[in-house]
Structure 1
Amino acid sequence: MIPFVKDINETDFQEGALLLVDKPLEWTSFDVVNKIRYTLKHRLGVKKIKVGHAGTLDPLATGLLLICTGKFTKKINDLTDLNKQYEGKLKLGATTLSYDAEMEENETFDIEAITEEQILNTVENFKGAIQQFPPIYSAVKIDGVASYKRARQGEDVKTRERTVNIEEFVINKVEKPYVEFSVTCSKGTYIRTLADDFGKSLNNGAYLVGLKRTKTAGYDVKDAWDLDTLINELRDVH
């Protein structure tokens, strides 16, 4: 496990550092990387420094983002491969084209007959190795172009099915139409797709309304920097 930064002023960011950041709502992962890169360049008085992240979070998701700087950017692939843990909430009885709350509901369903027992039993369909189609409104590349760009241009987009592994899937609370859950899964898993497929498995609809990444392997969001605090610390050169 790569040590992560606890003391900003004892860190050589060019030599390499791992930062744990709690990504704010509505920021893209790239926004976070850009903000940290810009601030580091000013702190160090350099024109260029490598900064990257290990594992994208959607703008409407929050939580743990692993940021590598300097020579540690070579470790990004290894960090991306690690299992991730999430806490989320889905809404039953409706769907959206993006599988989350980014887009308006495009179809609704009656959920009166769905019982808590059915919801708990349906979880068993999504454990171990499962097949997923990434959302068409995602950054998955199709012939070198992000799927979401093609979809927004009105193209008939089809993503390729992939195998992902759901190590743990637990329902924490059922308060229809909302279901709160936690998931531990392999890289490449789309929790948005998991929510959409969960609704289909109930012969109904569902989409993701909240998501937070809580862990990446042994790294915990409890140890992560609040982004504003981190930026202020980076600006405060001693």
Structure 2
Amino acid sequence: MFNSIQDFADGQLLLVNKPYKWTSFDVVGKIRNSFKPLKLKVGHAGTLDPLATGLLIICTGKMTKQIDTFQAEEKEYTGTMVLGSTTPTYDLESEPEKKFEVDHLTNEQIYAACAQFMGEIQQYPPAHSAIKVDGERLYEKARRGEEVELKARTVTINEFELTRIELPEVDFRVVCSKGTYIRSLVNDFGKALDNGAYMSRLRRTRSGNFKIEDAHEVMELVGKIRELKEPKAE
């Protein structure tokens, strides 16, 4: 834990609950700016999409050297997918396009689809993602209407549990390797049912041994940092 601003320079690992619609960089920027005028290294260990919430590991000072280590850890997510429709971004960042009937889908069919995604799988990242191709992020190319040939990645799904089925909504919990796109998993899940699916909610609940229950709100951390910068007079 930290007791002084120097502690942050020496290196701190902060567990943050990323707010809805904030980018991961928004969180980094808010914390970095709270140290001004002191210039301090601040980074995160694993991007969360703007519409996702939950655990974001923030490293400061010398701890930023450990970001790759934390980033490589197994992740756990909970979320909700909506069957019967797809969106270009695989989530609510874009409007639904293709529509499918879901009345014929049974719980048995939906549960059986999970088995197809256990263990090592090949996954294509979303066209609307932060992956760089030719030095530019994919979502920038997608916004211009450019088509990019995406390369499949090998990822590992260690656990895939469906916790609620109330069509068209399905709640889930996933434990997976670094680099897994849950949006792509949801999109592929819809295809496995000869249907469509997009993600309507996502929350990261664990990264390695770090849990969301131990995370701080962004502004709570910012407030504590400011208190350390401006100690109260006795």
TM-score by length of 2: 0.95
Q: 1:143 aligns with which of 121, 134, 149?
A: 134
CA distance in 1, matches of 2:99, 2:4: 53
- Match of 2:9, SS state, is coil
Counterpart in 2 of 1:22?
17
Size of the aligned set, in residue pairs, is 229
CA distance in 2, matches of 1:73, 1:80: 11
CA distance in 2, matches of 1:61, 1:189: 14
Q: In the alignment, residue 98 of structure 1 is paired with which amino acid?
A: T
Contact persistence 1:11–1:17 (CA under 8 A):
no
1:80 is the counterpart of 2:49: no
Alpha-carbon displacement from aligned partner over 1:44-77 (angstroms, at most 9, x marks no partner): x42x110000000000000000000001100000
CA distance in 1, matches of 2:143, 2:94: 12
Aligned residue runs from structure 1 range 51-90, under 5 A = 51-90=42-81
CA distance in 2, matches of 1:212, 1:40: 28
Aligned residue runs from structure 1 range 28-39, under 5 A = 28-39=23-34
Query: Structure 1: where are the runs of 5+ without partners?
Result: none
> 1:158 Cα deviation (Å)?
2.4
CA distance in 2, matches of 1:40, 1:175: 46
CA distance in 1, matches of 2:6, 2:209: 21
Following TM superposition, where does structure 1 have runs of at least 4 consecutive aligned residues deviating by more than 2 angstroms? Answer: 7-11
Contact persistence 2:5–2:225 (CA under 8 A):
no
Q: In the alignment, residue 20 of structure 1 is paired with which amino acid?
A: L
CA distance in 2, matches of 1:183, 1:150: 29
Counterpart in 1 of 2:35?
40
Q: In the alignment, residue 219 of structure 2 is paired with which amino acid?
A: D
Q: In the alignment, residue 37 of structure 1 is paired with which amino acid?
A: R
Q: Are residues 11 and 211 of structure 1, via their aligned partners in 2, closer, same or farther at CA, if it must alter by over 3 Å?
A: farther
CA distance in 1, matches of 2:219, 2:32: 14
CA distance in 2, matches of 1:89, 1:72: 34
Counterpart in 2 of 1:209?
200
Q: In the alignment, residue 19 of structure 1 is paired with which amino acid?
A: L
Contact persistence 2:124–2:184 (CA under 8 A):
yes
CA distance in 1, matches of 2:3, 2:214: 14
TM-score by length of 1: 0.94
1:116 is the counterpart of 2:111: no
Alpha-carbon displacement from aligned partner over 1:58-115 (angstroms, at most 9, x marks no partner): 0000000000000110000000000000001000000000000110001110011001
- Cα RMSD, aligned residues only: 1.1
- Match of 1:113, SS state, is coil
CA distance in 2, matches of 1:166, 1:196: 15
> 1:8 Cα deviation (Å)?
4.9
Q: In the alignment, residue 132 of structure 1 is paired with which amino acid?
A: Q
Contact persistence 1:8–1:233 (CA under 8 A):
no
> 1:120 Cα deviation (Å)?
0.7
CA distance in 1, matches of 2:4, 2:170: 43
Alpha-carbon displacement from aligned partner over 1:9-32 (angstroms, at most 9, x marks no partner): 486001100000000000000000
CA distance in 2, matches of 1:133, 1:83: 19
